[in-house]
Amino acid sequence: MGDARGRIAWTSRHMPLVASVAKEFSRTRPFDGLRIGLRIHLEPKTAVLIDALIRGGAQVTALGNVGTTQFDTVAELKSWGCEVLDRPDDDARSVAAHLKKMAAMGCDLLLDNGAELIVACIEGGRSPLGATEETTSGAILLREQYAQRVQMPVIVINDSPLKSIVENKYGVGESVIDAVVGTTNISLHAKVVVVFGYGWCGRGVAQFAAGRGANVVVVDPDPVKLLEAAMDGFGTASATEAARIGHVFITATGRESVVDVDLIRQMRDGAVLANAGHTDREITVSELKDAASATTLEPSLTRYDLAADKSVFVIADGQIVNLAAQGSRGNSIESMDLGFTLQARSLELLATHSKTLPLGPHPVPEAINHEVALAVLEAMQSPSRY
């Protein structure tokens, strides 16, 4: 994959919005004297964001995610003065210990990806100035399980219509299908691709699968979402109905145990399973390991033999496929340029005006959405692009 410094330089070249913010932050220094704790996938695109925060005066402490951390990028981050906590292993207890350690550091601001760091601060009795949360999974956790306990403003980046459209629908949709096809080397033409969840990520996965010639079937508990999928030209079905007809199954719900072993047993021999959601528990791979014998075919593809005449294939152990599958690089640089500009501007707002913001989760302010939308349009229409 080349060296990290070269990949970060290439990535930065295609992130004009974050580059502009970094230049501004070098002058305004909104994070002087503040420590920002990041729990996020550590790879070249996030390195460009971290550089902008450091230029803005921040002390940055980061913890990557299991399965998606690029350790040559981590080495480069450390050379910049970014503190990166020890490599998380596959043991949930180890990850929890890292989160507890970061929460105890007394970070002033948090950038979270799944709300695990925010929850660690809540459980540890700490209330930073504020936080941003990147994902649907994290927003669900905060709103459903910690609604009365969040004693800080949390800007949910995933609530921004810009992130929904540009990053989730187009960025995730494209990169997930690329990862599935790239890992398996199979064509999707005339195959039934079952998409669990018709939020913005699910919409994108369905659209890009259809663009590869697949017959798409959507599963969602919300009848309104099913109607939307039908109006978009896709089939709809219950989970059990879809299990019997699908060739490829992709989860994109942000919730746990969407595809369990009982459902997997109903799938055809040769079914391929992948997860596009943040949590690696949308597909119950741990239960599947107990119920079937496993054979690793290559680093990101495992066969599970459920019976003499039935095997299923899981990509990247059910981790987020567009980052965890070998050779995958996540969403396009340009889509993350938008998403990370929303992050940078939201953190700036929290650093300078946290006391004026309501406690608990709330959307990205419209002023930031409008500013970033105009910046994206300007970048897309720039003569230098042609």
**Among 324, 339, 361, which residue terminates a domain?**
324
Residues 158 and 285 in one domain: no
Please indicate, yes or no, whether residues 197 and 68 belong to a single structural domain of this protein: no
Helix axis angle, 116-123 to 92-104, nearest 10°: 60
User: What percentage of the chain carries pLDDT values higher than 90?
Assistant: 88
Q: How many CB atoms lie within 10 A of CB 51?
A: 21
Q: Do both 76 and 110 map to the same domain?
A: yes
Reported as a pLDDT band with limits 50, 70 and 90, residue 261 is: very high
263-276 burial, b for 16+ CB within 10 Å, e for fewer?
A: bbeebeeebbbbbb
Q: Is the pLDDT of residue 89 over 60?
A: no
Q: Do residues 243 and 181 share a domain?
A: yes
**Same structural domain for residues 140 and 220?**
no
CA 58 to chain CA centroid, nearest Å: 23
Tell whether 10 and 146 lie within a shared domain.
yes
Q: What does the pLDDT average to over 224-231?
A: 99
Could you tell me if 156 and 299 are in contact, meaning their C-beta atoms sit under 8 angstroms apart?
no
The CATH number that applies at residue 253 is 3.40.50.720
| Confidence check: pLDDT of 91 > 80 | no
Flag whether pLDDT at 90 surpasses 70. Answer: no
**Are 191 and 335 contained in the same domain?**
no
Q: 3-state class of 341 per DSSP?
A: helix
Its domain, for residue 206, covers 168-324
Is the pLDDT at 37 greater than 70? The verdict is yes
Instruction: Please report which helix (H) or strand (E) contains residue 180, including its range.
Output: helix 173-184
Domain with residue 88: its CATH number is 3.40.50.1480
CB 252 within 8 A of CB 225: no
| Band of residue 382 on the pLDDT scale cut at 50, 70, 90 | confident
Mean pLDDT, rounded, for 321-326 = 95
Mean of pLDDT values over 4-18: 96
Q: Is 250 helix (H, G, I), strand (E, B) or coil?
A: strand
Is 161's pLDDT higher than 50?
yes
| Same domain membership, residue 232 and residue 123 | no
Same domain, 69 and 210: no
More confident residue, 93 or 361: 361
* Chain centroid, CA 264 distance in Å: 24
What is the 3-class SS of 87-114, one letter each residue?
Answer: CCCCCHHHHHHHHHHHHHCCCCEEEECC
Residue 117 tokens read as: 């760091």
Q: Is the pLDDT of residue 98 over 70?
A: yes
Average pLDDT for 219-233? 99
Same domain, 134 and 280: no
The string of pLDDT tens digits covering residues 289-312 is: 999 999 999 999 999 999 989 999
Question: Residues 335, 257: one domain?
Answer: no
Domain boundary among 307, 324, 341: 324
What is the token pair recorded at 288? Answer: 């599947």
Q: How many distinct structural domains can be found in the chain?
A: 2
User: For position 386, what pLDDT does the model report?
Assistant: 40
The CA-to-CA distance between both ends of the chain, in Å, stands at 27
pLDDT band (50, 70, 90) for residue 71? confident
Residues 313 and 251 reside in one and the same domain? yes
Its pTM stands at: 0.88
Q: Among 35-49, 51-65, 80-94, whose mean pLDDT is lowest?
A: 80-94
Distance CA 163, CA 155 (A): 13
pLDDT by residue (tens digit) across 353-367?
999 999 999 999 999
Cα within 13 Å of Cα(186), Cβ side = 18
pLDDT at 87: 64
**CA–CA dist 58, 22 (Å, integer):** 12
Return d(Cα 324, Cα 56) in angstroms, integer: 30
